[in-house]
Amino acid sequence: MKDYSSYVGIVGGGIAGLTAGCALRLQGIKTVVFERSEKTSEYGAGISISPNGFGLLEKLGIKDSLMNESFSPSRVVMSHLNKEIIAMETEVITASRQNLIKVIHQRYLELGGEVFFNHECSSLDQGACEIKFSNDETYKVVHILACDGIKSPIRQKHFPSTGAPIYSGYSAWRGIGISNSKDIQFNLGPGSHVVNYPIDNSGRTSFVGIVKTEENGDSWKMKGTKEELLEDFEAYDEETLSLDQ
Ligand SMILES: Cc1cc2nc3c(=O)[nH]c(=O)nc-3n(C[C@H](O)[C@H](O)[C@H](O)COP(=O)(O)OP(=O)(O)OC[C@H]3O[C@@H](n4cnc5c(N)ncnc54)[C@H](O)[C@@H]3O)c2cc1C
């Protein structure tokens, strides 16, 4: 048994786990994050942060470094099948999820936080504050934070009344291409919508296409073909789908 009894043990080194780690380190509380992967996630496409998140980014001291690695569109243009309905001012930070995680992770380390990769929690004892891992290691900590994502096995085991996630009826195509647009483009269509936004100053642009579908598996890593994508969005014109990559 490894004695980390003066540390808060955080299971999951995603956005929630690393953010919680930064917040605790800023209060001088010792923390250790246990992440099952061998490094922080490189998956994901664009992610947007609205003004209600800016205050937290500032408190954690990461707003400026994130701004350097992201974009701040000032307009959102709403259209229906490429016919503009309205353009509105907006205040939002648009980034790649990879950069967001990188910035939070760097800040966490700067604040003296520790991360143990290749540590997959297999069970935990809430009363004794012990966490067991599939590599046969056990850690004793002072408190346990479960930040193991939307499908959290810890939540399902220890808080069964919360239930499993329910499929919304919509699936999202995600990708990153190149475009000159500086706006958030929100395009509505039949049973679907497409959102594009720049994620940095070099023209990298996030594509999100949402379609109504039957549940067909759930993974951020599932791949589809360009033909399948074009079929799902055949009602839209070429300009909406014309990112260069
Ligand atoms: C691969 C991926 C790609 C995504 N891409 C986008 C995107 O492009 N745009 C967007 O808007 N949103 C994206 N999301 C969703 C968005 O990032 C999540 O809503 C947000 O990250 C939630 O943060 P979280 O920390 O609660 O969960 P997550 O980011 O899912 O983090 C949970 C972490 O816990 C770890 N973990 C799980 N189980 C265990 C265990 N037993 N032991 C140890 N570690 C464990 C996981 O490996 C993961 O690192 C993505 C999510 C994932 C998982």
Q: What is the pLDDT of residues 176-212, one digit of tens each?
A: 999 999 999 999 999 999 999 999 999 999 999 999 9
> Largest Cα–Cα distance in the chain?
63
Instruction: For residue 180, list its beta bridge partners.
Output: none
User: DSSP states of 14-34 as a string?
Assistant: SHHHHHHHHHHHHTT--EEEE
**Strand positions, DSSP E, 54-106:** 75-80, 83-89, 93-96
Predicted pLDDT of residue 245: 43
Please give the distance, rounded to the nearest whole angstrom, from the Cα atom of residue 15 to the centre of ligand 1: 7
Please give the distance, rounded to the nearest whole angstrom, from the Cα atom of residue 47 to the centre of ligand 1: 12
> pLDDT averaged over the chain?
92
The b/e string for 184-204 (b: 16+ C-beta within 10 A; e otherwise) is bbbbebeebbbbbbbbbeebb
Q: Residues lining ligand 1, CB < 6 A?
A: 11-17, 34-37, 41, 43-47, 97, 120-121, 147-149, 174, 220
Domain boundaries, the chain: 2-65+98-162, 73-92+167-241
Predicted pLDDT of residue 240: 73
Tokens 């490429």 belong to 82
Q: Residue 101 CB: number of other CB atoms within 10 A?
A: 22
φ and ψ of 198, to 5 deg: -70, 145
What CATH code is assigned to 73-92+167-241? 3.30.9.30
Tokens of 51: 């003004």
Q: Which atom of ligand 1 is nearest to the CA of 18?
A: 25
DSSP letter at 70?
A: S
pLDDT tens track for 35-90: 999 988 777 789 999 999 999 999 999 999 999 999 999 999 999 987 899 999 99
Please give the distance, rounded to the nearest whole angstrom, from the Cα atom of residue 10 to the centre of ligand 1: 14
Q: Residue 103 CB: number of other CB atoms within 10 A?
A: 23
> Probe ligand 1: pick from 97, 121, 154, 207, max atoms within 8 Å of CB?
97
Query: What is the model's pTM?
Result: 0.91
- Would you give the distance in Å from CA 32 to the centre of its chain? 20
Report which protein residue has its CA nearest ligand 1's atom 5.
44
Please give the distance, rounded to the nearest whole angstrom, from the Cα atom of residue 14 to the centre of ligand 1: 5
What CATH code is assigned to 2-65+98-162? 3.50.50.60
**CB 198 within 8 Å of CB 204:** yes
Tokens 């786990």 belong to 17
pLDDT tens track for 126-143: 999 999 999 999 999 999
Predicted pLDDT of residue 239: 73
Please give the distance, rounded to the nearest whole angstrom, from the Cα atom of residue 136 to the centre of ligand 1: 24
